[in-house]
């Protein structure tokens, strides 16, 4: 049994000014214990709402369909109190903006020890010692003094480290990281990715990493799911996906990745056009308007996600034809 298994997950939002919109369609994936899965796609493709739905954190106008199981237990059928206990204990989360998870009015010590005392029955003293150790592990210098500071006294990168330290301390089964490095500069980004990798390799924490950046996926993930307009369009082992992407959108995302062998200053190739607005996709493949390979069938029929061995893709075009026409993608 997978540690985390999501089956046919859907998310629909009611709107005041129109019919409801479905922003996540029939998404399924599995994360094994100790595994690393990247969910990648452009902004608005439904990545965050997929995990919010799974954790019972959708906005009040949202409705969730399908199943999400943690060690076989259905998270979507749980009472809010039970789900609350799982979040922050067996599942830890870090977000793009660490300030959203930190209380500006409490010291770092209070925030870290409260989580521990709530979930782990430690005394304040024991909790403080553990929190300092965790801050040291994420290389916050002078942790015993800094633990008494407030979030605004830390830089963005340091705040993200505090959240990783908090997660480390709780020893969760799964860490969900939603664009954890998007707001950080490149050097700090690399440090945060190294900490996540360490947490996975040394502690066996499974990581679900959400990002719009294929480069970030390449640094950490064993498995990848590519999302476009609320649907999974390709799923594969990361090395296989980078070597031979089988969906035109994945090819586009990889083309938008800086290549190591590209001359310095060479422009990135980006995918022309924009994704459809929510509810704005026509009857065919949502990527068809931006796809250089699109043919007549793509305009009228949504391609189903078709599995072939360890891979899956949702595209009407033959994978071999796509491969022959895309030289030199990848890292």
Ligand X SMILES: Nc1ncnc2c1ncn2[C@@H]1O[C@H](COP(=O)(O)OP(=O)(O)O)[C@@H](O)[C@H]1O
Q: Which residues bind to ligand X, rule: CB under 6 A?
A: 13, 23, 41, 43-49, 59, 61-62, 278
The one segment of 3-11, 31-39, 43-51, 251-259 that binds Mg ion by CB under 5 A: 43-51
* CA proximity to 221, closest of 36, 33, 62: 36
Q: CB within 8 A of 188, min separation 6: which ones? A: 155, 156, 157, 160, 181
CB of 232 to ligand X, least distance (A): 12
- Residue 48 or 205: the one with the smaller Cβ distance to Mg ion is 48
CB of 142 to Mg ion, least distance (A): 34
- The residue with its CB nearest to Mg ion is 48
The one segment of 26-34, 42-50, 54-62, 80-88 that binds Mg ion by CB under 5 A: 42-50
Distance CA 15, CA 27 (A): 22
- Residue 55 or 132: the one with the smaller Cβ distance to ligand X is 55
The site partner of 303 among Mg ion, ligand X, none (C-beta below 5 to 8 Å per kind) is none
Helices first, then strands: H and E counts in the chain: 12, 12
By the rule CB under 5 A, 48 interacts with Mg ion: yes
- Residue 258 or 280: the one with the smaller Cβ distance to ligand X is 280
Q: What is the DSSP letter of 289?
A: G
What phi and psi values does residue 268 have, to the nearest 5 degrees? -75, 145
Distance CA 181, CA 191 (A): 10
CB of 46 to ligand X, least distance (A): 4
- Residue 13 or 154: the one with the smaller Cβ distance to ligand X is 13
Rg over alpha carbons for the chain, rounded to the nearest Å, is 21
Compute how many residues bind Mg ion; rule: CB under 5 A.
Answer: 1
- Residue 54 or 169: the one with the smaller Cβ distance to ligand X is 54
CB of 309 to ligand X, least distance (A): 27
Q: Within 10 A of 216 (CB to CB), how many other CB atoms are there?
A: 24
Distances (CA, A) of 39 to 18, 62, 185, 207: 29, 21, 21, 11
- The residue with its CB nearest to ligand X is 48
The site partner of 264 among ligand X, Mg ion, none (C-beta below 5 to 8 Å per kind) is none
Q: Which residue(s) pair with 178 in the sheet? A: 95, 210
Tokens of 99: 């300030």
Positions that interact with Mg ion (CB under 5 A): 48
């Amino acid at each position: 049994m997978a540690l985390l298994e999501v089956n046919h997950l859907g998310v629909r939002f009611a709107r005041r000014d129109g019919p409801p919109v479905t922003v996540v369609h029939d998404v399924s994936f599995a994360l094994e214990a100790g595994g690393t899965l990247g969910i990648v796609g452009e902004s608005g493709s439904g990545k965050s709402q997929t995990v919010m739905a799974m954790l019972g954190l959708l906005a009040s106008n949202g409705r969730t369909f399908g199943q999400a199981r943690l060690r076989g237990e259905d998270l979507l059928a749980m009472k809010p109190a039970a789900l609350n206990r799982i979040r922050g204990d067996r599942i830890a989360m870090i977000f793009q903006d660490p300030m959203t998870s930190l209380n500006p009015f409490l010291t770092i010590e209070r925030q870290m020890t409260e989580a521990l005392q709530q979930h782990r029955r430690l005394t304040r003293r024991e909790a403080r010692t553990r929190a300092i150790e965790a801050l040291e592990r994420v290389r916050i210098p002078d942790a015993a003094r800094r633990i008494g500071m407030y979030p605004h006294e830390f830089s963005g990168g340091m705040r993200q480290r505090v959240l990783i330290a908090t997660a480390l301390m709780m020893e969760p089964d799964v860490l969900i990281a939603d664009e954890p490095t998007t707001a950080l500069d490149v050097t700090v980004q690399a440090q945060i990715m190294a900490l996540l990798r360490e947490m996975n390799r040394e502690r066996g924490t499974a990581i679900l990493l959400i990002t719009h950046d294929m480069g970030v996926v390449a640094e950490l993930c064993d498995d990848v799911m590519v999302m476009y307009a609320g649907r999974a369009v390709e799923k594969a082992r990361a090395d296989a996906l980078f070597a031979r992407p089988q969906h035109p959108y994945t090819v586009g995302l990889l083309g938008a990745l800086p290549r190591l062998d590209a001359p310095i200053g060479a422009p990135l190739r980006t995918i022309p056009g924009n994704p459809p607005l929510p509810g704005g996709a026509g009857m065919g493949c949502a990527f068809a308007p931006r796809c250089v390979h699109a043919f007549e069938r793509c305009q009228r029929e949504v391609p189903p996600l078709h599995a072939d061995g360890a891979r899956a893709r949702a595209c009407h075009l033959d994978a071999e034809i796509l491969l022959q026409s895309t030289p030199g993608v990848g890292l």
